[in-house]
Amino acid sequence: MSTNSIRKIVKQDFELNTNAVQKINKILEISNHDSRNLIPILQDLQDEFNYLPEKIISHIAKELNVSEHHIYGVATFYSQFKFIKPGKHIIRVCMGTACHVLGAQSLLDKLSRDLKIDSGETTEDELFSLESVYCLGCCALAPVMLIDDEVYGSMTAAKVNKILRKYRKVDKPKQTKSGTGKK
């Protein structure tokens, strides 16, 4: 993906407030403000903020005295880095060999149809992000799906609706007296 296309899809709703700047600067300090440590810096930033908003990239470009273009060039080389705010729940479907032979693809297809997104995307209501990953390390439970930190083993497409309903129910907007949904 080119730097320009990333810029177009990056959401602009991240607020670079004092708290965020403090966290970013702490991460930069740990890496001695050294641009040679760019990858670990980006990893720490993503761990902290769940993704790499454009405002963070601009900030660290100034702090590290490198161009934003350089940072995007490095970051886009690695699929681990995300530039779009992920959904509240991240669904990871294992596509490793053990899971694949036991039907992981039809599980992923079912999730993709139900959520109306492809792997790597986030639902419009920002509730779910869908990802395919390779071996979650619990092959005996294949096929495996992970939602946030919860492991779902021996998964079938038929189990998907019930599981998604559980998350939707918990995150359902509260109804006000006027009936307007309010988070």
Rg (C-alpha) for the chain, rounded Å, is 19
DSSP string, 149-160: TEEE-S--HHHH
Residue 84, interface with ligand FES (CB under 6 A)? Answer: no
Contact 40, 61 (CB under 8 A): no
Least spacing, CB of residue 94 vs ligand FES, in Å: 3
Q: Which is nearer to ligand FES, 129 or 132 (CB)?
A: 132
Choose, by CB under 6 A, the member of 24, 45, 83, 96 that binds ligand FES. 96
Structure tokens at 47: 């761990």
Choose, by CB under 6 A, the member of 28, 41, 56, 99 that binds ligand FES. 99
Residue 146, interface with ligand FES (CB under 6 A)? Answer: no
Q: Which is nearer to ligand FES, 105 or 123 (CB)?
A: 105
Please, is 105 exposed, middle or buried when counting C-beta atoms within 10 Å of its C-beta (0-12, 13-18, 19+)?
Answer: middle
Exposure b/e, 41-64, CB count within 10 A at least 16 = b: bbebbbeebebbbbbbbebbbebb
Residue 144, interface with ligand FES (CB under 6 A)? Answer: yes
Least spacing, CB of residue 132 vs ligand FES, in Å: 11
Residue 139, interface with ligand FES (CB under 6 A)? Answer: yes
Binding site residues, ligand FES, CB under 6 A:
94, 96-99, 135-139, 142, 144
